[in-house]
Amino acid sequence: MELLVSGFGLQKVVEVDDVVNRILTLPTEHFDKIKVIKYDPKRQVSFLIRHQRVGRQLGEYLGSFNSIVVYDFKSREECFHVLMHEIGHHVYFRVLSSQQKKFWVTELYRAEPGVTELGKKNACEDFAEAYALFLNNPESIRDKPLKNGFIAKLFKF
């Protein structure tokens, strides 16, 4: 596994070691194909992105580059939510089987409303939000037992 964690020394909210240690608490298959996780408040990787977003964007999963970019956070909690949300996108697109994705989209997303306002946007955002909440604020997803159970199985709990 080769993972570069870069740029987090530019901020003073979260220690770099805490970011690395948080990533290492995940099952290896959830991050082993990611090449770079970068904190980039100046959006210097924007040349990689061929689209413009409207509104505050905190992070981005760049699947074709096997990279995650964290643009902004105001607190330790927000940092880890953004980070786990973007890793959640990676898990959704690169780790889940097609059957698991189909189950999330056709069964879970329909059965239980989005776990957050962003999660109500689409099934992919809902999965990333559920993943982040499961890791960072587990009690907030317990009222969605189907989604909570699905994500727990990814961690073999």
Going residue by residue through the chain, which has 157 residues, state the pLDDT in tens, using 9 for 90 and above: 689 999 999 999 999 999 999 999 999 999 999 999 999 998 876 555 555 554 568 999 998 889 999 999 999 999 999 999 999 999 999 999 999 999 999 999 999 989 999 999 999 999 999 999 999 999 999 999 999 999 999 998 5
- Percentages helix, strand, coil for the chain (3-state, rounded to 5) are 55, 10, 35
Nearby residues of 65 by Cβ (< 8 Å), 6 or more positions away: 35, 36, 48
DSSP-H helix ranges across 56-144:
76-90, 98-103, 109-111, 123-136
Nearby residues of 111 by Cβ (< 8 Å), 6 or more positions away: 146
Q: Compute the residue count for the chain.
A: 157
| Stated pTM of the model | 0.92
Domain boundaries, the chain: 1-95, 97-157
Instruction: Give 74's DSSP letter.
Output: S
